[in-house]
């Protein structure tokens, strides 16, 4: 089946019927040549089963497909990021950080506070792509337990690392610190040439959009603090 993901045509030969259902929002209506072709092998499924023997085959196949994409997307000026991406008034904002920091909860707070003027592009695993007009985050079917994702993209304006705290505060981050922390939120390709390209894209990401540390309690006030800090509102 041909899918339209991240403005690319990706041919995926599914093993499990449920996998096609999981990907159904991204089925391509056009007949185009595939930019990427993915077929999961028995050995890949077996290796994934060793990592997690409690998940169904479709879930494991989806993880295998994502592994292929995180490797090959580099060829198309893209990268995977473990983060939530929210959009407000046409501008995209990254909420990233350690698992359990509250990214998804904070993202949901944007919908509650801003209503129809906000949207969650992806709640857990967006793909970023870089071009001459900027850096764009794309929704994907890999979106966490909450299922926050839309088949859309948004130009990124700023990003923050979410940290739990008793008081809400947002502060600019040093670029070297951003780089070190981003390494824990992405997947580095295996091929040497792709690895070099990946680091070049990371460097561009850090240079082109501002990064902040957001200390917050995941409240409505935290949403306001995050937005005003990243959007430049006083």
DSSP 73-110: GGGGTEEE--EEEEEETTEEEEEE-STTSSHHHHHHHH
Could you tell me which of 102, 121, 110 has the C-alpha nearest to residue 231? 110
Q: How confident is the model at residue 206 (pLDDT cuts 50, 70, 90)?
A: very high
Q: What's the number of CA atoms in the CB half-sphere (13 Å) around residue 228?
A: 11
pLDDT of 78 strictly over 60: yes
The mean pLDDT value for 205-227 works out to 94
Angle at CA of residue 123, ends 113 and 141, nearest 5°: 135
Instruction: Write the secondary structure of 6-75 as one string of H (helix), E (strand) and C (coil).
Output: CCEEEEEECCCHHHHHHCHHHECCCCCCCCEEEECCHHHHHHHHHHCCCCCHHHHHHHHHHHHHHHHHHH
Residues above pLDDT 90, as percent of the chain: 85
Q: Looking at the structure, tell me whether residues 26 and 108 fall in a common domain.
A: no
Q: Looking at the structure, tell me whether residues 108 and 200 fall in a common domain.
A: yes
Q: What is 153-206 written as a DSSP string? A: EEEEEEEEEEEE-SS-EEEE--HHHHHHHHTTSS---SSHHHHHHHHHHHHHHH
Q: What is the CATH number of the domain that holds 159?
A: 3.90.228.20
Q: How, if at all, do strands 211-216 and 169-172 pair?
A: antiparallel
Partners of 127 in beta bridges? 80, 138
The mean pLDDT value for 41-58 works out to 91
Would you say the pTM of this structure is higher than 0.75? yes
* Rounded Cα distance, 218 and 166, in Å: 9
Each residue's pLDDT tens digit, 85-137: 999 999 999 999 988 778 888 999 999 999 999 999 999 999 999 999 999 99
CB atoms within 10 A of CB 191: 13
Each residue's pLDDT tens digit, 147-172: 889 999 999 999 999 999 999 999 99
Q: Looking at the structure, tell me whether residues 89 and 171 fall in a common domain.
A: yes
Q: Which two tokens stand for residue 55?
A: 């998940």
What is the model's pLDDT at position 233? 58
Q: Looking at the structure, tell me whether residues 48 and 11 fall in a common domain.
A: yes
Angle at CA of residue 167, ends 181 and 217, nearest 5°: 70
The dihedral region occupied by 134, where left means phi > 0, alpha psi between -120 and 50, and beta the remainder, is left
Q: Looking at the structure, tell me whether residues 120 and 176 fall in a common domain.
A: yes
Q: Looking at the structure, tell me whether residues 55 and 106 fall in a common domain.
A: no
- CA 49 remoteness from chain centre: 24
What is the model's pLDDT at position 168? 95
User: For residue 149, what are the domain limits?
Assistant: 78-231
Q: Looking at the structure, tell me whether residues 134 and 210 fall in a common domain.
A: yes
pLDDT of 179 strictly over 70: yes
What is the model's pLDDT at position 234? 41
CB atoms within 10 A of CB 200: 13
Q: Looking at the structure, tell me whether residues 161 and 180 fall in a common domain.
A: yes
Residues above pLDDT 70, as percent of the chain: 99
Q: How confident is the model at residue 8 (pLDDT cuts 50, 70, 90)?
A: very high
Given 32, 47, 76, which residue is the final one in a domain?
76
Is 141 in contact with 26 (CB distance < 8 Å)? yes
Q: Looking at the structure, tell me whether residues 157 and 215 fall in a common domain.
A: yes
Q: Looking at the structure, tell me whether residues 175 and 112 fall in a common domain.
A: yes
Look over the chain and give the mean of its residue pLDDT values, rounded to a whole number.
93
Q: Looking at the structure, tell me whether residues 116 and 200 fall in a common domain.
A: yes
Q: Looking at the structure, tell me whether residues 83 and 174 fall in a common domain.
A: yes
What is the model's pLDDT at position 99? 82
Instruction: Write the secondary structure of 105-124 as one string of H (helix), E (strand) and C (coil).
Output: HHHHHHHHHHHHHEEEEECC
Given 51, 76, 101, which residue is the final one in a domain?
76
Given 29, 51, 76, which residue is the final one in a domain?
76
* Rounded Cα distance, 209 and 153, in Å: 16
- Tally of structural domains, the chain: 2
The mean pLDDT value for 29-54 works out to 92
């Amino acid at each position: 089946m041909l899918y339209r993901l991240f403005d690319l045509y990706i041919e995926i030969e599914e093993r499990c019927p449920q996998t096609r259902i999981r990907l159904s929002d991204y089925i391509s209506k056009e007949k185009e040549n595939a930019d990427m072709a993915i077929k999961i092998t028995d050995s890949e499924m077996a290796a994934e089963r060793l990592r997690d023997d409690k998940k169904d085959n479709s879930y494991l196949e989806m993880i295998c497909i994502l592994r292929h994409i995180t490797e090959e997307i580099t060829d198309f000026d893209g990268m995977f990021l473990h983060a939530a991406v929210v959009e407000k008034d046409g501008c995209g904002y990254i909420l990233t950080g350690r698992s359990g920091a509250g990214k998804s909860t904070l993202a949901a707070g944007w919908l509650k506070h801003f209503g129809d003027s906000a949207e969650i592009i992806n709640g857990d695993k967006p793909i970023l792509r870089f071009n001459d007009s900027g850096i764009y985050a794309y929704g994907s079917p890999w979106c966490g337990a909450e299922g926050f994702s839309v088949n859309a993209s948004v130009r990124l304006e700023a990003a923050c690392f979410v940290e739990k705290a008793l008081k809400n505060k947002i502060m600019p981050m040093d670029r070297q610190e951003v780089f070190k922390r981003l390494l824990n939120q992405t997947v580095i390709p295996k091929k040497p040439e792709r690895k070099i390209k990946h680091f070049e894209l990371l460097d561009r990401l850090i240079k082109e959009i501002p990064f902040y540390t957001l200390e917050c309690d995941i409240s409505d006030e935290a949403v306001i603090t995050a937005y005003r800090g990243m959007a430049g509102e006083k």
